[in-house]
Amino acid sequence: MKLLVTGGAGYVGSVCAARLVEEGHEVVVVDDLSTGHADAVPEGATFVQADLADAADDLLADGVEGVLHFAAKSLVGESMTDPAKYWDGNVVTSLRLLAAVHRHGVPRLVFSSTAATYGEPEQVPIPESAPTRPTNTYGATKLAIDHAITSYADAHGLAAVSLRYFNVAGAHDRFGERHATETHLIPLVLQVASGLRAQVSIYGDDWPTEDGTCVRDYIHVTDLADAHLLALRHATAGLHRIYNLGNGTGFSVKEVIDACRRVTGHAIPAELAPRRAGDPATLVAAADRARTELGWKPERPDLDTIVADAWRFTQSRLGG
């Protein structure tokens, strides 16, 4: 298929673009490089550096059969202090993209949604039927886009799938996580193990969880990418389907730091810090729907495997 991958120079987008190229698809990546890296676009994909909202019309004019939409602002903390960046960068841009998708009759769309759409869950693991009450602006903007996509599927027959990621980690081949300003737990902990950072902060130990630190469901980026390939194949005209992607097991911040200690052999000093605004205590996925309807089966659910792949990537970046 001829596919447009928005945000394909970013972490998840580049891994998905690589998997799509591996599967023989014709891939065009559009990315403004505000957070992505040109050298993360896989060989075999065409790269267009542009602002998506401006370029969508031109990019879709040429018989594109599907869009995988990753381009987004995605930092929870920043979304609380700079909401305009998130409402404009995520919602306005996505509305422009959706309008262009409709104008050019693009039949299918796979959207990068998030567990942050649920907010503090009433029920854990969280099913897709759970109420969506985001506790941060990032989640609210992704939820708004999900609603818009539903309208386009209902009104115009778009075949749409939203994939609600839990905590993505690990690396695929030479593609991994490298943000100029890193805020995610596993890469930060691995920076300590690499000697780039003296210690890691634990954002609160008085949460209502077993050891008092926040619990998350970590999913390997390759497993996540594979779900996008399945979603593309199973997307059905006129339906907007929503799937959670996670392993169904939660690990606390302390458990993640311990896994990093095991994998790297480094002591990794940690200090207690205040809670981070917008964080829910626990996010764990019920991903049965993706398993039964898409036939998705995560192959790398083990936390140490996820951390080991992230560590290999971190070391290769430092070496090269």
Residues in binding contact with ligand UDP, number by CB under 6 A:
15
Single residue of 203, 243, 251, 311 touching ligand UDP by CB under 6 A: 203
Question: Is residue 185 a contact residue for ligand UDP (CB under 6 A)?
Answer: yes
Closest C-alpha to 165, from 217, 89, 241: 217
Phi, psi of 49 (to 5 degrees): -90, 110
Single residue of 31, 128, 146, 279 touching ligand UDP by CB under 6 A: 279
Contact 283, 118 (CB under 8 A): yes
Question: Is residue 263 a contact residue for ligand UDP (CB under 6 A)?
Answer: no
- State yes or no: is 152 an active-site residue: no
Q: Give residue number: closest CB to ligand UDP.
A: 214
What whole-number distance in Å separates Cα of residue 166 and Cα of residue 163?
A: 9
Cis peptide before 107 (omega within 30 of 0): no
Single residue of 216, 220, 234, 254 touching ligand UDP by CB under 6 A: 216
Alpha helices in the chain (DSSP H): 11-22, 52-60, 76-81, 83-86, 93-103, 137-156, 185-193, 221-234, 253-264, 288-289, 303-319
Q: Residue 23 Cβ, how far from ligand UDP at the closest point, in Å?
A: 28
Single residue of 49, 132, 201, 315 touching ligand UDP by CB under 6 A: 201
Site for ligand UDP in 18-77 (CB under 6 A): 76
Q: Residue 104 Cβ, how far from ligand UDP at the closest point, in Å?
A: 33
Q: Residue 266 Cβ, how far from ligand UDP at the closest point, in Å?
A: 16
Kindly compute the dihedral angle of the four CA atoms of residues 231, 236, 239, 245, in this order, to the nearest 10 degrees.
-10
Active-site choice (138, 152, 165, 218): 138
Q: Residue 180 Cβ, how far from ligand UDP at the closest point, in Å?
A: 15
Question: Is residue 253 a contact residue for ligand UDP (CB under 6 A)?
Answer: yes
Question: Is residue 177 a contact residue for ligand UDP (CB under 6 A)?
Answer: no
Q: Residue 255 Cβ, how far from ligand UDP at the closest point, in Å?
A: 11
What whole-number distance in Å separates Cα of residue 246 and Cα of residue 165?
A: 7
What whole-number distance in Å separates Cα of residue 78 and Cα of residue 66?
A: 31
Question: Is residue 276 a contact residue for ligand UDP (CB under 6 A)?
Answer: yes
What whole-number distance in Å separates Cα of residue 161 and Cα of residue 234?
A: 9
Binding stretches for ligand UDP (CB under 6 A): 76, 167, 183-185, 188, 200-203, 214, 216, 253, 276, 279
- Residues marked as catalytic: 138
